[in-house]
Amino acid sequence: MAFPTPAHLRYLARRQRVGLVVTLTPEPLPTSCRPIDTFGVRPLQFLHLPIADYESPTEEQIVAFMKEARATIKSGYGVVAHCHKGYGRTGTILACYLVGEEGLQPQQAIDLVREKRPGSIARTQEQVVHIYHKYWLPQHGGGHGERGQAIR
């Protein structure tokens, strides 16, 4: 997802049952962008994982994302992640989620993200998805939930 507006966040909370918004930009989502009223729906939670433009998430950032996303989804709510345009950093962390939580192979996850959002995940960022699968996932574990539910 690209950088969200308050109206967009309200819509996600009310209509899509989103419970967690993850910001993958160097700067956190400004308070002015956060909706104050979600009209009786569970208040949105916000997670800031600062990643520079054109860079990839670190092991620690992926693990933090997985932990928060897993807990939010387990409680019945969805998760959205965004950077400035919603392609590189966002696509990379979502592909890692598909590998760790839905059991996809790295290239399957990359292809699925690109199918849903063409142009996602720069070639240099692909490597992180493979590293996550080969080295970091065995150390931190994954949930391997129901396939096909994470990305709409």
CA distance 6 to 112: 28
Q: Which of 66, 83, 104, 129 is catalytic?
A: 83
DSSP collapsed to 3 states, 79-97: EEEECCCCCHHHHHHHHHH
Q: Which of 64, 3, 75 is nearest to 42 (CA)?
A: 75
Give catalytic status of residue 33 as yes or no: no
Active-site residues, by number, are 83
